[in-house]
Amino acid sequence: MTAPDIRVVADAFDQGEELNRFTAMAGPAGAVVSFSGIVRDEGGMLQALEIEHYPAMTDRAIRAIADQAASRWALSAVLVIHRHGRLCPGEVIMMVATASLHRQAAFEAAEFLMDYLKSRAPFWKKAFTAGGAEWVAARDSDEDALDRWR
Amino acid sequence: MIEVLYFAWLRERIGLPREQVETEAPTVAALVQELSARDDSYALAFADLTGLRVAVDQELADFDAPLAGAREVAFFPPMTGG
């Protein structure tokens, strides 16, 4: 596998452009799977989401997760882009993409990456609404999601 | 001397993002005890460790992890990436 492409960025990115570039660089792949996470508007309540992270740790934590995925599935490429800072509803928070010879590995690895990024990559979200600001709590279901990979 | 970092609501509750701490604490838990003894804002922030996570030198660790040779300890709530 080529080295995972991991980026933690403040600015918006073009997911279509990224996916095209990823596909072109993915080597001998028969399947590319991508996932994009979008800021929900929570029924019109959410004004903005602020994403804090731990710069010294973020890249290496994501890299460790990507390496784990690469050791479990036969992947030819992995992409993770995650934004930080202030985002509005509808904006893309992050995307992952995986490439493999066959779709099953690409699908499973993408799910694995998402499950681990949720609760093992050092990001925290603060939700701003008309009523004030509140840190988004981790959900037990996010932790439970890791069980199926153990 | 250890660099101690705080993130998310822990940073807000303690009132700073990072600080240098002179300590001989042998473990993370001992460091938490030292910090909690300083004043109420620390004691409150660290009141429930089950709701907190810790990283030692940028690797996730347990609260009983040793601090020998550690340069950086970060405390934060469970992560919410993705």
Residue-wise pLDDT tens digits, B13-48: 999 999 999 999 999 999 999 999 999 999 999 999
* B70 and chain A in contact, CB less than 8 A: no
CB contact under 8 A, A114 and B80: no
Residue B8 in any domain: the answer is: yes
Low-confidence ranges of chain A (pLDDT < 50): none
Nearest residue of A to residue B58 by CA position?
Answer: A57
Contact list, B78 vs chain A (CB under 8 Å): 119, 137-138, 143
Instruction: Mention every residue, 6+ apart, whose C-beta is less than 8 A from residue A81.
Output: A6, A7, A8, A9, A13, A18, A94, A95, A96
Percent of chain B with pLDDT over 90: 99
For Cα atoms B54, B57, B61, give the angle at the middle one, nearest 5 degrees.
Answer: 35
Instruction: Mention every residue, 6+ apart, whose C-beta is less than 8 A from residue A76.
Output: A1, A2, A26, A27, A28, A29, A99, A100, A101
DSSP label of B27: B
CA B66 to chain centre: 13
Residue B21 in any domain: the answer is: yes
Residue B81 in any domain: the answer is: no
Residue B9 in any domain: the answer is: yes
Which of A54, A61, A119 is closest, CB to CB, to B7? A54
Q: What digits encode the pLDDT tens for the residues A96-110?
A: 999 999 999 999 999
CATH number for the domain spanning B66: value is 3.10.20.30
Instruction: Mention every residue, 6+ apart, whose C-beta is less than 8 A from residue A2.
Output: A25, A27, A76, A77
DSSP characters for B44-58?
A: HHTS-GGG-EEEETT
**pLDDT value of residue A31:** 98
**pLDDT value of residue B29:** 97
CA A138 to chain centre: 16
**pLDDT value of residue A72:** 97
Instruction: Mention every residue, 6+ apart, whose C-beta is less than 8 A from residue A99.
Output: A22, A23, A26, A27, A29, A31, A32, A33, A75, A76, A77, A78, A106
Structural domain boundaries, residue B25: 2-76
CB contact under 8 A, B79 and A60: no
Residue B47 in any domain: the answer is: yes
**pLDDT value of residue A148:** 92
**pLDDT value of residue A28:** 86
CB contact under 8 A, B80 and A56: no
Which of B7, B58, B81 is closest, CB to CB, to A121? B81
The rounded distance, in Å, linking the Cα atoms of A51 and A14 is 19
Residues facing residue A78 across a β-bridge: A98
Nearest residue of B to residue A113 by CA position?
Answer: B82
Q: What digits encode the pLDDT tens for the residues B51-81?
A: 999 999 999 999 999 999 999 999 999 999 9
CB contact under 8 A, B80 and A124: yes
The CATH class for the domain spanning A5-149 reads alpha beta
DSSP 3-state assignment of A98? strand
Residues facing residue A124 across a β-bridge: A52
CB contact under 8 A, B80 and A138: yes
CB contact under 8 A, A135 and B8: yes
DSSP label of A39: -
Q: A50, A57, A140: which to substitute to probe chain B, counting the most B Cβ within 10 Å? A: A57
* B33 and chain A in contact, CB less than 8 A: no
10 Å CB burial of residue B79 (0-12, 13-18, 19+) is buried
Tokens of B16: 């700073």
DSSP 3-state assignment of A109? helix
CB contact under 8 A, A118 and B8: no
Residue B82 in any domain: the answer is: no
